[in-house]
Homo-oligomer: A and B are copies of this chain.
Amino acid sequence: MTLILNGRKAQAALKERLVARLAKLNAKPTLAIVQVGAREESNAYIARKKEFGEEIGAGVELVRLSEDATEPEILSVVQRLNTDPQVHGIILQLPIPAHLNKQRLLDAVVLEKDVDGLATGSTFTPATARGVLSLLQFYQIPTEGKKVAVLGRSALVGAPTAKALREAGAIVTVCHSGTKNTKEITRASDIVVVAIGKPKFVGADYFRDDQTQVVVDVGITSLAEEGVVGDVDFEKVKEIVAAISPVPGGVGPMTVGALFENLLSVIY
């Protein structure tokens, strides 16, 4: 029996902890989301953040700018939020239109409020990395001394996830497009975290056939024919591993929760 790492269930437990913590705060933590344009997928993600935030009693304020907003316009919004004492966290909903310089806009968020952890020099761990760890912790899957392969080394997901796993005592190898023996490494791993952004790219040949490995799928792609899928070929891989996170309903809900963990860690 393969264990399905149910992010919705783990999120519910996290929600309870956050509600308890929020009750002890002497301010209502408020997240501001800056959205440029109105991509359908972004709308869906924002709706989930809003819903989660409201359920735990946090404020979520959406500032939506038009698709053709200029960098100075966005910067001026971010700067207003930076100095607004009622706003504790600010995130720029990604992706943003291609005419904008993403890192420059991310870096405009004052470090104290950068709860997405994406500004240069941020002191927050990106929500996805925190989400992966929380999902493993919820299912009491140990990381200390375990071999973990992280597929993908993006600054926003792969790299911070590898770092968080190392801090949790894991022995981590980061694989990327230039890695020659990726399948050899994943087959030798206790835990495989996949964050490459290629739908169903990772098949059964990446794993041993002995139902002992744990797979965490961070990928999320919306396919016209199949809806939302991950980087892992779930149906095939789940037959041969011990545990696997589905997409949707795996890391995604934990990422939303982790964002609010970051937000609550701002209020002193």
Contacts and interface: CB of A to CB of B under 8 A. Distances in A.
A252 to B, nearest CB: 20
Contacts of A83: none
Given A112-B174, A123-B162, A167-B167, A268 B147 contact: yes
A262 B163 CA distance: 10
Interface string A130-174: 100100000000000101001001010001101110110111111
Where chain A touches its partner, the secondary structure class is mixed
Contacts of A166: 123-125, 262, 265
What's the number of copies of this chain in the assembled complex? 2
A121 interface: yes
Interface string A116-133: 010001111100001001
Task: Give the interface centre of A124, A130, A163 by most chain B CB atoms within 10 Å.
Answer: A163
Given A117-B163, A123-B163, A171-B266, 17 more contacts: A21-B145, A111-B174, A121-B153, A121-B155, A121-B159, A122-B163, A123-B159, A123-B160, A124-B163, A124-B166, A133-B167, A147-B268, A169-B265, A170-B265, A171-B267, A171-B268, A185-B268
11 contacts: A111-B174, A112-B174, A121-B153, A122-B163, A123-B172, A124-B166, A130-B167, A164-B167, A167-B167, A171-B266, A171-B267
